[in-house]
């Protein structure tokens, strides 16, 4: 009796306009529903309804593209969590990190995940590129997607670089000092680079000044790197990722013919 009541209730729920507005198809295991599961879900619809056998072989893909995306998502989630506790002010940034590791519940874990996922993402993007090269998957018609991939690799490295200034520890200060010294040595655009002085570059108007918001690593640099790390670069990554996936979807999986 109870079970039939439950069935009745469930049938009634499924017949309401609200349920139908949210869930567009049933759960019966039919080819139609399998297609609709992929097709009518915002996350799944990036995938084709039917996939080539080869594309789910671990030996072929090593899952590295997918893992890169997963790590990026993890970085976004843990990054937002860190932003609740971190203030990009040179007088308190380091103490905020210390607080995060001692006072905030699971703060250390969140910070560790953020750091290790970042290192992992550099590695997986790199391995993904190697896999794509070794399987010749960049060949026509996928040339442009390979270029977007290289851009994403550069953005990944830039995200890492802008990230490790933020804790304001010794590594942050000196690594960014070295990094921006290289920027000052940029040909044409840096004051110490070839033809920089000849083109009117000064310590207060060259590319290093633009990066740091000053002539040395200080408060302005911290704020700039914070905004680049938390807003500008992630937004660029999302835009390029969208094109990257859309192209993969349109060009089809590159597996053996």
Partner 1 sequence: MELVKGTATGVEKEPEDTIFSWPHLFYLEFLCVIIVTALLLIASIYLGAPLEEEASRDTTPNPMKAPWYFLGLQELLVFFDPWIAGVGLPILIAGGLMLIPFLDINPKGKGYYTYSERKFAVSSYGFGMALWLVLIVIGVWFRGLDWNWYWPWENGHIHKPPATGLEDLPIIFARVLGIGQFAGKALSDLIVLGYFGAGLIIPALYFKNFYKKLGFMRYVPLAVMYLIMIGIPIKVGLRLVFSIKYVILTPWFKI
Q: Which of residues 11-40 bind partner 1 (CB under 8 A)?
A: 31, 34-35, 37-38
Determine, following the binding rule CB under 8 A, whether residue 80 of this chain makes contact with partner 1. Answer: no
Which helix or strand (DSSP H or E) is residue 159 part of? helix 143-163
User: Residue 155: which of 167, 166, 163 has the closest Cα?
Assistant: 163
CA 21 vs. chain centroid, Å, equals 32
Q: Are 110 and 78 in contact (CB under 8 A)?
A: yes
Tell me which stretch binds partner 1 (CB under 8 A): 16-24, 118-126, 227-235, 237-245.
118-126
Determine, following the binding rule CB under 8 A, whether residue 97 of this chain makes contact with partner 1. Answer: yes
User: Residue 158: which of 183, 131, 187 has the closest Cα?
Assistant: 183
Determine, following the binding rule CB under 8 A, whether residue 181 of this chain makes contact with partner 1. Answer: yes
Q: Which is nearer to partner 1, 16 or 41 (CB)?
A: 41
Q: How far is the CB of 186 from partner 1 (least distance, A)?
A: 5
Q: Which of 6, 26, 84, 112 binds partner 1 (CB under 8 A)?
A: 112
Q: Which of 82, 152, 159, 183 binds partner 1 (CB under 8 A)?
A: 183
Determine, following the binding rule CB under 8 A, whether residue 191 of this chain makes contact with partner 1. Answer: no
User: Residue 238: which of 75, 41, 114, 113 has the closest Cα?
Assistant: 75
Q: How far is the CB of 103 from partner 1 (least distance, A)?
A: 15
- HSE, side-chain direction, 13 A CA sphere, residue 241: 17
Q: How far is the CB of 220 from partner 1 (least distance, A)?
A: 15
Q: How far is the CB of 112 from partner 1 (least distance, A)?
A: 4
Number of residues that bind partner 1 (CB under 8 A): 89
Q: How far is the CB of 2 from partner 1 (least distance, A)?
A: 31
Please give the C-alpha separations between residue 214 and each of 108, 112, 165, 230, in angstroms, as whole numbers.
32, 31, 15, 20
Determine, following the binding rule CB under 8 A, whether residue 117 of this chain makes contact with partner 1. Answer: yes
Determine, following the binding rule CB under 8 A, whether residue 236 of this chain makes contact with partner 1. Answer: no
Whole-angstrom distance, CA of residue 190 vs CA of residue 181: 9
CB atoms within 10 A of CB 111: 20
Q: Are 100 and 86 in contact (CB under 8 A)?
A: yes
Q: Which of 99, 120, 199, 214 binds partner 1 (CB under 8 A)?
A: 120
Query: What are the tokens at 219?
Result: 């408060």
Q: Which of 25, 85, 89, 122 binds partner 1 (CB under 8 A)?
A: 122
CA 167 vs. chain centroid, Å, equals 20
| In the block, residue with structure tokens 């655009």 | 189
Site map for partner 1, 131-160, x if CB under 8 A?
--xxxxxxxx-xx--xx--x--xx--x--x
Determine, following the binding rule CB under 8 A, whether residue 62 of this chain makes contact with partner 1. Answer: no
């Amino acid at each position: 009796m109870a079970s039939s009541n439950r069935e009745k209730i469930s049938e009634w729920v499924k017949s309401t306009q609200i349920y139908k507005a949210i869930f567009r198809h049933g759960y019966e295991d039919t080819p139609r529903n399998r297609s609709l599961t992929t097709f009518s879900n915002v996350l799944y619809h990036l995938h084709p309804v039917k996939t080539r056998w080869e594309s789910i072989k671990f030996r072929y893909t090593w899952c590295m593209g997918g893992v890169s995306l997963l790590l990026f998502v993890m970085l976004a989630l843990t990054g937002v969590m860190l932003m609740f506790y971190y203030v990009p002010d040179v007088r308190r940034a380091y103490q905020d990190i210390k607080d995060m590791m001692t006072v905030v519940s699971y703060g250390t874990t969140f910070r560790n995940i953020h750091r290790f996922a970042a290192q992992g993402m550099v590695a997986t993007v790199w391995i993904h590129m190697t896999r794509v090269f070794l399987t010749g998957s960049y060949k026509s018609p996928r040339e442009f997607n390979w270029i977007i991939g290289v851009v994403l690799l550069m953005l990944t490295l830039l995200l890492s670089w802008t990230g490790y200034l933020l804790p304001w520890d010794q590594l942050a200060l000196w690594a960014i000092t070295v990094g921006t010294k290289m920027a000052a040595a940029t040909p044409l655009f840096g004051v110490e680079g070839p033809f920089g002085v000849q083109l009117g570059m000064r310590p207060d108007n060259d590319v290093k000044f633009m990066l740091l918001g000053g002539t040395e690593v200080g408060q302005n640099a911290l704020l700039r790197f914070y905004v680049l790390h938390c807003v500008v670069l992630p937004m660029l990554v999302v835009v390029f990722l969208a094109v990257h996936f859309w192209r993969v979807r349109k060009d089809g999986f590159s597996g053996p013919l």
